[in-house]
Chains A and B, each alone.
Chain A
């Protein structure tokens, strides 16, 4: 889980072009949207692309986005749950 969250932070930075942010600056439970990292609706769509490309997980319902992409931890939990399902 720790490794997954650390990977995710780097992947989020690369996918969303967060050039001025370092992985260690993103807290595991820090909100990603609005007041936290300041991500917006287009970033949410890019995170869907990230999930699909890196983890082969398809989030087809955009309405699940806010729940899944709340924090790095919620993303990691979602990935774990779905990898277990696929295995």
Chain B
């Protein structure tokens, strides 16, 4: 309908790898990144498995080329965003109109926690203004400076759909001729704050999560970042390397049901998926693979599954949740899973939904359990649904 927006580069860091190549290897070897907590200093260390990036703060700072004193969220963001921009290899980038649209939900909470330990004992020992990296926006600014992007820099914070929203907002800025190139995605680091919070909601699995399994017990938290480099058709035509794929559809809708729970029939999820299909001009039957939001909670998986049934019945494309590999990376998952969706197109892959034992009884379809190579993957639907009822679906298509 409008002029297309192409994906010229991708970057990722997660519990299954510090770059695209490592992530892809782990996806192919079916190696999960979820395990015993080693980096995070929490009382739940032995009870709650998490999906940590396998690098301590110091090593990560050095990889990111940033000082150690800043938030882990910013470090993860910088690593993946820089890889994305590097892989796009856009000549004369500095002369183009560029944007950095980034998302996160915890901001600099990891640093804030360090500040708070002495503060809680004696409130004379800390001041609010010392929590300089706390704001979600600061994380974005730090990384934008590092990338040398100035024209449009902004932060989206809509819980677990944040970075999917960043990606389609970036695409719109290009479509409207405001920018030539946008680095878009998001990041979140593991913090005690989110771990304890999700624990009080009683939706953390004390074993490895089992998305879309009848006996699923909840999610495992993870950390990571994923970014895409979006370019206009005009710019894509001037590049030496062919674009990886294009972003052909997207839609955001609100479930308008509850602060955190999805509506039983997945109204918001249905509206997001059907809106994205409509935008792309595709039919449900055109979708080659769905990268599910699939957190592993009772509530998400049945709501998402019900919405899929309503939209796709009776012909279901292969689908899986890669959160069984990476855990739930919150503000980062939309970006990370966009990257996996793009890799599915580039490499012809359908990822397995690890650890599935018993398919959900109330759903008429089964998720993919075996890795499929050399698949004809034309169009991938990627779902990201967040607290606050914020539901987003993206569709990536072969260029």
Tell me if chains A and B make direct contact, with any CB pair below 8 A.
Answer: yes
Q: Name 11 interchain pairs, CB-CB below 8 A, sorted by A.
A: A40-B258, A40-B261, A41-B258, A41-B260, A42-B201, A42-B259, A45-B200, A45-B201, A48-B202, A49-B200, A62-B202
Residues of B within 8 A of A40 (CB): 258, 261
A45/B259 in contact, CB under 8 A: no
Q: Which residues of B pack against A, CB within 8 Å?
A: 200-202, 258-261
A42/B260 in contact, CB under 8 A: yes
Tally A residues with Cβ within 8 Å of B: 7
B260/A45 in contact, CB under 8 A: no
Complex alpha-carbon distance, A42 and B387, angstroms: 13
Majority-rule SS of B interface residues: loop
B269 to chain A, nearest CB (A): 18
Residues of B within 8 A of A42 (CB): 201, 259-260
Residues of B within 8 A of A45 (CB): 200-202
A41/B200 in contact, CB under 8 A: no
Complex alpha-carbon distance, A86 and B199, angstroms: 26
Complex alpha-carbon distance, A41 and B262, angstroms: 11
Name 11 extra pairs, CB < 8 A, besides A41-B260, A41-B261, A45-B201. A40-B258, A40-B261, A41-B258, A42-B201, A42-B259, A42-B260, A45-B200, A45-B202, A48-B202, A49-B200, A62-B202
Most chain A C-beta atoms within 10 Å of own C-beta, residue among B200, B202, B261: B202
Residues of A within 8 A of B258 (CB): 40-41
Complex alpha-carbon distance, A42 and B202, angstroms: 10
Complex alpha-carbon distance, A45 and B169, angstroms: 36
User: In this complex, what residue of B is CB-closest to A44?
Assistant: B202
Residues of A within 8 A of B201 (CB): 42, 45
User: In this complex, what residue of B is CB-closest to A46?
Assistant: B200
User: In this complex, what residue of A is CB-closest to B202?
Assistant: A62
B195 to chain A, nearest CB (A): 16
Complex alpha-carbon distance, A45 and B201, angstroms: 7
B203 to chain A, nearest CB (A): 9
Residues of B within 8 A of A48 (CB): 202
Complex alpha-carbon distance, A42 and B200, angstroms: 10
Complex alpha-carbon distance, A49 and B200, angstroms: 9
Residues of A within 8 A of B259 (CB): 42
User: Top 4 nearest A-B pairs by Cβ distance?
Assistant: A62-B202, A41-B261, A45-B200, A45-B202
Residues of A within 8 A of B200 (CB): 45, 49
A58 to chain B, nearest CB (A): 12
